[in-house]
Structure formats: structure tokens, C-alpha cells
């Protein structure tokens, strides 16, 4: 009886390992998700978004066509695509933006040195948003 083995090209294996290391390195930069359960947009997220996001992301001409003043608006996302992946906070664009782990500093939210003087989110606030997303973004 012979056993057939498949040889995995070394380049493919190296690329996969590099991706895994990069993803975990980015994840390590993120504040951990909160342990609070039962999070909802109305009760837990809206107060954070009202202070830190809604000034620019609401109204008739929201920046990036993103409405953060409603759950539907947040889930719809921007002109570029979705910012929330329910169940997967580490890969949700909103988390990368508020934790300042995106490659492009122009994507940091709220922008550093913004004219409105809006403070950056705290690790606890980012952790709450992560937990909300991981719990399904309801």
C-alpha cells in the first residue's frame, strides 16, 4: 500500500505563515474586547458614537457617506464598504480606525488634531465596541 503525499510549495507556506504572524501582531495592538454582555447599539454604542463620531458622520452630507447616528447607518457602512463585520471585531474596519491600527493615518478616527477637538476613544470604549461587534452588532 502506498501513501500519496502532497508537497506544499515552500513559498505558499511562507506566505501563509507571514500572514498569520501579521494578523496576530495587528490583533495584539487592539485593546481586548470587553467582557460586558448584552450590548446594544441604542444603549451602549450610541452614547459613544454621539460624542466621538456623529458630528462628522450624520446629516445630509456625512463624511464618507457614513451615518453613525443610526444602527442601520453603521451596519450599511461607507461608500467604500462595510465598517462592521458582526461577530468579528478584530477584522472590522471601525475597530482598526478607532484603535489607530490602519496602515493609512488618514483613516484614524476620530482624526488626531481634528478641528472639533474630539478626543480619541479610550481602550475601554474600543473594548466595548469590540464586544458589541463580537456579540453580533445588534
Contact predicate 85/133, CB 8 Å: yes
CA dist., res. 74 & res. 10, Å (int)? 41
Question: Would you state the pLDDT for residue 66?
Answer: 97
Whose CA is closest to 128, among 50, 60, 32?
Answer: 32
> pTM score, two decimals?
0.79
DSSP the chain: ------PPPHHHHHHHHHHHHHHHHHHHHSPPPP---S--IIIIIHHHHHHHTTTTSSSSS-GGG---SSHHHHHH-BTTB-S--TT-GGG-HHHHHHTT-SSSGGG-SSPTT-TT-PPPPPHHHHHHHHHHHHTT--
Q: Average pLDDT in the 128-132 region? A: 98
Is the pLDDT at 18 greater than 60, yes or no? no
Tens of pLDDT along 65-76?
999 999 999 999
Question: Would you state the pLDDT for residue 22?
Answer: 38
Question: Would you state the pLDDT for residue 50?
Answer: 97
Residue 27's pLDDT band (cuts 50, 70, 90):
low
Tens of pLDDT along 40-64?
999 999 999 999 999 999 999 999 9
For the chain, give the percent of residues with pLDDT over 70. Answer: 80
Q: Average pLDDT in the 100-110 region? A: 92
In the numeric block, the cell 471585531 is attached to 89
CA dist., res. 94 & res. 49, Å (int)? 11
Amino acid at each position: 500500500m502506498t501513501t500519496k503525499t502532497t508537497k506544499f510549495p515552500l513559498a505558499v507556506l511562507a506566505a501563509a505563515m507571514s500572514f498569520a504572524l501579521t494578523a496576530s501582531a495587528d490583533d495584539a495592538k487592539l485593546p481586548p474586547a470587553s467582557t460586558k454582555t448584552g450590548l446594544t447599539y441604542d444603549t451602549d454604542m450610541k452614547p459613544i458614537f454621539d460624542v466621538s463620531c456623529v458630528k462628522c458622520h450624520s446629516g445630509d452630507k456625512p463624511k464618507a457617506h457614513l451615518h453613525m447616528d443610526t444602527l442601520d447607518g453603521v451596519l450599511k457602512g461607507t461608500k467604500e464598504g462595510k465598517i462592521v463585520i458582526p461577530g468579528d471585531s478584530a477584522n472590522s474596519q471601525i475597530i482598526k480606525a478607532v484603535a489607530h491600527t490602519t496602515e493609512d493615518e488618514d483613516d484614524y478616527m476620530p482624526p488626531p488634531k481634528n478641528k472639533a477637538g474630539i478626543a480619541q476613544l479610550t481602550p475601554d470604549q474600543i473594548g466595548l465596541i469590540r464586544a458589541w461587534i463580537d456579540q453580533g452588532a445588534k
